[in-house]
Amino acid sequence: MSITLKDIIALAKEIPETHFEEAFEKLMEIKKKAEDEKDSGEQSCPCCKSTLIVRNGKARGKQMYLCRNCKKGFAETSTSAIAHSHSSATVWKQVISDTVNGVAIDKTAENLDLHHETVFNMRHKILYCIEQSLISDPIALTGVCETDETYVLESEKGRKFPRNHHRKPRKHGAKASKPGISNEYVCVCTSVTGEDEKVAVAVNRASPDSQEILSVFGERVDENTVILCDGKQSYNVLDNKCTVAVAKRINKVNGFHSFIKEKLEDMRGVATVYLNRYNALFSKIYAADKSAVVEEIFELMISRNNTFNTIAHTQSVNLLEV
């Protein structure tokens, strides 16, 4: 049986008021035991990597440390993606789990007794870190790769509608005003390898041209790569880098397309500016063990590899503009 933070909080809400003090004391005892176990492990300074450190009081409930080598103070989460957060690592892990499992932001906020905007910002920090990790270490397309594109409806969800926009506002669930592929759709170039590595990158509106295909796949392929596609002429731009072949059936990548559209429908769409961040998430979780993915993302969030980012970063850096 896997017990989550949500289960603990739900149980705490059911405890009779006459047992509050007893429950509180027991939880404090468990918390202190966990902190002692954590402190018994070896810490290192994020600045100089020295292990000559001592405890140096607490700030906002977090244990602080002082490095004897470089004389700098730090917390366990310093330089990580969750640095300066008021939420504990346990809460972050639950939000990651809810993100991976497609739990609505409002439901996560309710379960964890957090504000909607807080969970929204936490979720976008998570998505930003996943996207940045894939940008810094892009998936290499090796062996036989099924490659195709899919189209998702452009969305201004959560944003004020721009003046002189190319279309009128529409309600959730509405369809494009024009039949077929038009500038109301955003193209997502995708590929699935024989090893089940996935790539999904939105590039532009409507059908991609040769330069857009090259920008997505050009640095990911090599002479040993075989690209299986539906025969679109734009893929011929990769001929000098790898082998391009036409296939009648590309079921793996079509399954990935269905997964992307299903997830977007469950979320009632996502703002187009954030689409590539969700594409990064979809690439991580499609046909994967979700519990393992949660652990992988959590390790990314708490790592001290300068993954720190601010809310301002998530709202302004590397957004998709098409």
pLDDT at 295: 94
Tens-place pLDDT, residues 164-221:
777 777 777 777 777 878 888 999 999 999 889 999 999 898 889 999 999 999 999 9
Q: Tokens standing for 194? A: 């024989």
Q: Are residue 2 and residue 149 in the same domain, yes or no?
A: no
Spatial strand order of the sheet with 62-67 comes to 53-59, 62-67, 73-75
> What is each CA distance from 93 to 107, 193, 257, in whole angstroms?
15, 29, 28
Structural domain includes residue 8: yes
Examine residue 127 and state whether it is found in any structural domain, yes or no.
no
162 and 18 inside one domain: no
Are 289 and 153 members of one domain?
A: yes
pLDDT: which is higher, 240 or 63: 240
Q: Note down the domain range covering 153.
A: 136-170+178-294
Average pLDDT in the chain: 88
3-state DSSP assignment of residue 89? helix
When pLDDT is cut at 50, 70 and 90, the band that residue 79 belongs to is confident
Q: Determine the pLDDT at residue 164.
A: 78
The Cα–Cα gap between 106 and 192 comes to 33
Report the pLDDT averaged over residues 246-257.
Answer: 92
The domain that holds 154 is classified in CATH as 3.30.420
Q: What does the DSSP assignment read for 56-84?
A: EEEETTEEEEEETTT--EEETTTTSTTTT
pLDDT at res. 178: 78
Instruction: Report CA-CA distances (Å) from 56 to 64, 234, 275.
Output: 5, 60, 42
pLDDT > 50? residue 148:
yes
Residues 267 and 162 in one domain: yes
Across 138-164, average pLDDT? 88
**Mind listing the pLDDT tens digit for each residue in 13-39?**
899 999 999 988 998 888 888 777 766
Q: Is residue 158 domain-shared with residue 21, that is, in the same domain?
A: no
Q: 99 lies in a domain?
A: no
Q: Are residues 21 and 164 in the same domain?
A: no
pLDDT of residue 40: 47
| Separation of alpha carbons 298 and 199, rounded Å | 21
- Given a cut of 90, whether residue 306 has pLDDT beyond it is no
> What pLDDT is attached to residue 41?
53
Residues 184 and 288 in one domain: yes
pLDDT in tens, 85-114: 888 889 999 999 999 999 999 999 999 999
In a domain, 237, yes or no: yes
pLDDT above 70 coverage of the chain, percent = 98
Question: Is residue 146 domain-resident?
Answer: yes
Question: What pLDDT score does 128 carry?
Answer: 94
Q: Does residue 263 sit within a domain? A: yes
Q: Say how many domains are in the chain.
A: 2
How are strands ordered across the β-sheet holding 185-193?
198-205, 185-193, 144-153, 226-229, 243-246
In a domain, 100, yes or no: no
What would the pLDDT profile of 253-297 be if each residue is shown by its tens digit? 999 999 999 999 998 889 999 999 999 999 999 999 999 999 999
- Say if 54 falls within a structural domain: no
Q: What is the average per-residue pLDDT within 293-304?
A: 91
Q: Where are the beta strands (DSSP E) in the chain?
A: 53-59, 62-67, 73-75, 144-153, 185-193, 198-205, 226-229, 243-246
d(CA 131, CA 16): 44
Look at residue 314 in the predicted model and tell me its pLDDT: 87
